[in-house]
């Protein structure tokens, strides 16, 4: 496999953040990002509209093999140096349905997530994620 084409919603803030994160990761297989709003999308990938890429991520390799939703995310992780092992775990028959469902949930709510991202800058989100949560026992003593 020489490359993976990642079809994503270029107008979705969550999709944009995911694209940036993926692009910053060292990769075994280059990821080529193509917004679904590209004027030549149908020419580059004939029949792509049947997959409804506006609903969830689509990944296509140079041979025309296609992955969508959770399987597409697993393929993106498989392409990355630091996440290939995780992708292999998630591709296991017991975990792949979980990955698919998680992707479906995020896809269904991505516009709400995008609105939340628009309210916070990435540095504000990172600061919130770095804040240590109080241990449960301390919370119970306070109430």
pLDDT, tens digit, 9 for 90 and up, residues 77-114: 999 999 899 888 887 777 767 767 766 766 666 666 66
Q: How confident is the model at residue 117 (pLDDT cuts 50, 70, 90)?
A: low
- The answer to which of 39-43, 50-54, 102-106, 129-133 has the lowest mean pLDDT is 129-133
Rounded CA-CA distance 104/98 in Å is 10
Read off the pLDDT band of 44 (50, 70, 90).
Answer: very high
Q: Is 49 helix (H, G, I), strand (E, B) or coil?
A: helix
Backbone angles phi, psi at 26, to 5 degrees: -60, 140
What percent of the chain lies above the pLDDT cut of 90?
47
pTM for this structure? 0.72
> How would you classify residue 34: left for phi > 0, otherwise alpha for psi between -120 and 50, otherwise beta?
beta
- In which band, very low, low, confident or very high, does the pLDDT at 127 lie, cut at 50, 70 and 90? low
Give the H or E element holding residue 15.
helix 13-24
């Amino acid at each position: 496999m020489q490359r993976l084409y990642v079809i994503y919603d270029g107008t979705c803030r969550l999709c944009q953040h995911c694209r940036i994160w993926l692009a910053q990761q060292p990769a075994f297989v280059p990821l080529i990002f193509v917004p679904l709003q590209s004027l030549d999308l149908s020419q580059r990938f004939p029949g792509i509209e049947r997959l409804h890429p506006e609903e969830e991520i689509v990944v296509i390799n140079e041979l025309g093999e296609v992955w969508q939703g959770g399987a597409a995310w697993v393929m993106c992780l498989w392409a990355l140096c630091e996440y290939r092992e995780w992708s292999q775990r998630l591709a296991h028959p017991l975990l792949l349905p979980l990955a698919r469902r998680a992707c479906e949930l995020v896809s269904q709510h991505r516009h709400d997530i995008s609105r939340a991202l628009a309210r916070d800058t990435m540095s504000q989100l990172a600061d919130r994620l770095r804040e240590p949560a109080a241990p449960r026992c301390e919370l119970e003593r306070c109430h």
